[in-house]
A and B are shown apart, each in its own frame.
Chain A
């Protein structure tokens, strides 16, 4: 079941990025024997989702790149220990989530605020008004995620933005579906109240 989900996920991703890929299990088996081409294919299959996940979790491009690098490096190091019967995607995204958590902790230790992080994300360009609106919305979205706890954010990103099923999210986060449901419920409630505060009352939103 998990394998078919993974296969479907990777095949669709393969089509999306134009990669004629072999089944993931075969790639993993080859990569374990030191086949660099197979590991490169694995990276091509998963790089979009890993980078997107890292960016949504961390809210910063540079940190997302570092986290994606670290994720693939850890995967390469521990590929020999990976059980081929298990879901490779779940294993990979679990590593990615852990790396993002480590990065977030490192950031909080260094004392850099999320406000500074968000400002670095402002897009460039000549359309000043469009840039201002886009940046405002983007900043608000990042801020909304920033209000969630680390676990709530991971659960919400994986379920509502990455589109995983609750059971898959539980597997990736290494917790039970009940816990994940509770985290998702809290995250959605917080997001709702955030939107009510900042988007449905523009007067108040402008006071930020």
Chain B
């Protein structure tokens, strides 16, 4: 270690503030350098005298009264601060101002979004599937407060009415057509036509223009019923024509 570097470190060496390795290096240099050693002794003496002088002169002369006043003043300020607790801390004592602000903003955003949505729903700008999800299934007696636009409502009502009317008319026609057949006694036919009956049975519901045909088998407990499409064969027409 050089003299200049050693001299730089002497203020810290004198106070014992150097790390172990540097302390040893300075000590090693001082063993071989008389000038630096003399300077180090001077620094050590000055450090001791200077520190003692400062400590002696700067003795704080605070008494017990000062300490009591200090604590009283601190408690007074604490009490004053606690008396003006922000209003949210009464409701959310563990939350700070930022958290409360974030929560209030979120609540405002949700309220705003809801208001916009309801307004759009009333004016009919919301897609149908969204309305179906958002609004409950309307009961047949009471309509929900948030209704669909009147044009859509009318259309739907018309459709429902037509469907009901169509079903009623179909049932009426079917009954009228089948009534004479039911009364008619049909001669026993050969019992070898089950495939026809099976084939026709599937069409009962979907084909309103059907003719019901009943065949009484030899066994009085078994009656074969099937429906056939109502059509007038040209053959029978011609036969009628010829008979006439």
Q: Which residues of A contact B (CB under 8 A)?
A: 36, 40, 43-44, 47-48, 51-52, 55-56, 61, 64-65, 68-69, 72-73, 76-77, 137-138, 140-142, 144-145, 159-161, 166, 181, 184-185, 188-189, 191-192, 195, 199
In the complex, whether B17 has a CB less than 8 A from a CB of chain A is yes
A195 touching B50, Cβ below 8 Å: yes
Q: Which residues of A contact B70 (CB under 8 A)?
A: 43, 47, 51, 65, 68-69, 72
In the complex, whether B57 has a CB less than 8 A from a CB of chain A is yes
Interface residues in B, total, Cβ within 8 A:
33
Say whether, besides A40-B71, A73-B78, A181 and B54 are in contact (CB < 8 Å). Answer: no
**With the chains together, A145 CA to B53 CA distance in Å?**
12
Chain A min CB distance to B206 (Å): 76
A189 touching B57, Cβ below 8 Å: no
**CB closest residue in chain A, given B54:** A141
B12, B49, B58, B75: the one within 8 Å of A185 (CB): B12
Q: Which residues of B contact A52 (CB under 8 A)?
A: 60, 62
In the complex, whether B113 has a CB less than 8 A from a CB of chain A is no
Q: Which residues of B contact A36 (CB under 8 A)?
A: 75
Question: Do most interface residues of chain B lie in helix, strand or loop, or is the interface mixed?
Answer: helix
**With the chains together, A52 CA to B66 CA distance in Å?**
12
Q: Which residues of B contact A77 (CB under 8 A)?
A: 81
A47, A141, A166: the one within 8 Å of B53 (CB): A141
A51, A56, A140, A191: the one within 8 Å of B66 (CB): A51
Chain B min CB distance to A91 (Å): 17
Q: Which residues of B contact A (CB under 8 A)?
A: 8-9, 11-12, 14-15, 17-18, 43, 46-47, 49-51, 53-58, 60, 62, 66-67, 69-71, 73-75, 77-78, 81
Of the A-B pairs whose beta carbons lie under 8 Å apart in the complex, a sample of 27, sorted by A's number, is A40-B71, A43-B70, A43-B71, A47-B67, A47-B71, A48-B62, A64-B60, A69-B73, A72-B71, A73-B77, A73-B78, A76-B74, A76-B78, A77-B81, A137-B57, A144-B54, A159-B15, A160-B55, A161-B55, A184-B12, A184-B17, A188-B11, A188-B12, A192-B46, A192-B47, A192-B50, A195-B46
**CB closest residue in chain B, given A56:** B58
Chain B min CB distance to A7 (Å): 22
**With the chains together, A77 CA to B67 CA distance in Å?**
20
Extra contacts besides A160-B51, A185-B11, A192-B43 (8): CB < 8 Å: A48-B62, A52-B62, A76-B78, A161-B54, A181-B18, A188-B15, A192-B11, A199-B53
A181 touching B17, Cβ below 8 Å: yes
**CB closest residue in chain B, given A192:** B46
**With the chains together, A146 CA to B146 CA distance in Å?**
78
B57 touching A69, Cβ below 8 Å: no
Q: Which residues of B contact A64 (CB under 8 A)?
A: 60
Q: Which residues of B contact A72 (CB under 8 A)?
A: 70-71, 74
**CB closest residue in chain A, given B43:** A192
Q: Which residues of A contact B43 (CB under 8 A)?
A: 192
Chain A min CB distance to B188 (Å): 101
A55 touching B77, Cβ below 8 Å: no
**With the chains together, A185 CA to B12 CA distance in Å?**
6
Q: Which residues of A contact B12 (CB under 8 A)?
A: 181, 184-185, 188
Q: Which residues of A contact B62 (CB under 8 A)?
A: 48, 51-52, 55, 61
B15 touching A184, Cβ below 8 Å: yes
A141 touching B58, Cβ below 8 Å: yes
Q: Which residues of A contact B57 (CB under 8 A)?
A: 137-138, 140-142
